[in-house]
Amino acid sequence: MWILANCPVPTGGPEHSGTATSKAFLAAVTLDPVPPPTPTATPTTTATPAPVPWVRGDAQVSSTMKRGNYAVSVKCDGTNDTGRATLRVVAAGPTATPTSTRTVVPTKAPGAGGGGTFAKGAEDESGIPFGPAGVLLGLALAGGIGLALRRRRS
């Protein structure tokens, strides 16, 4: 999660930075200055932009944190200014689930059906069984003959 704090720009020697801490964070977070906005390109602009008083950093929240509110403290290193905020955890974070890297490789070619029976042995019965197909063909033939006879009589 990103932390953004308004730390005054120090005058003199100290560096413009900050530190954020919380029980919810895995470690203390260093807050670095936000770069000033780039000025629009005009021929008369030659001065460097003034620094902005914002510092930011990326905090890692522990995945074991329970729901609730956690205090976040920010200290500006250059000016010793401090601030507090509250982080609300509304649900537990996603847990890492192991993913399988196993690739399934077929060891037998799929039965394509139709044609290509030259290399098959006589004992291989992976094609369409003749019994049900023969019965179906016989019923269709008998039905067609019966229909033809009925039309002929009427």
Residue 61 CB coordination number (10 Å): 15
Give Cβ neighbours of residue 70 (< 8 Å, ≥ 6 apart): 22, 23, 24, 86, 87, 88, 89
Confidence (pLDDT) at 45: 57
Over residues 14-29, mean pLDDT: 87
The per-residue pLDDT for range 40-93, each reduced to its tens digit, is 666 665 666 666 788 888 988 888 888 889 899 988 887 888 888 888 888 765
Give the H/E segment covering residue 47: none
Give the H/E segment covering residue 90: none
Whole-structure pTM value? 0.51
Confidence (pLDDT) at 5: 85
Confidence (pLDDT) at 52: 75
Burial class (CB in 10 A: 0-12, 13-18, 19+), 108: exposed
Give the separation between CA 142 and CA 137, rounded to whole angstroms: 9
Confidence (pLDDT) at 17: 86
Mean pLDDT score of the chain: 76
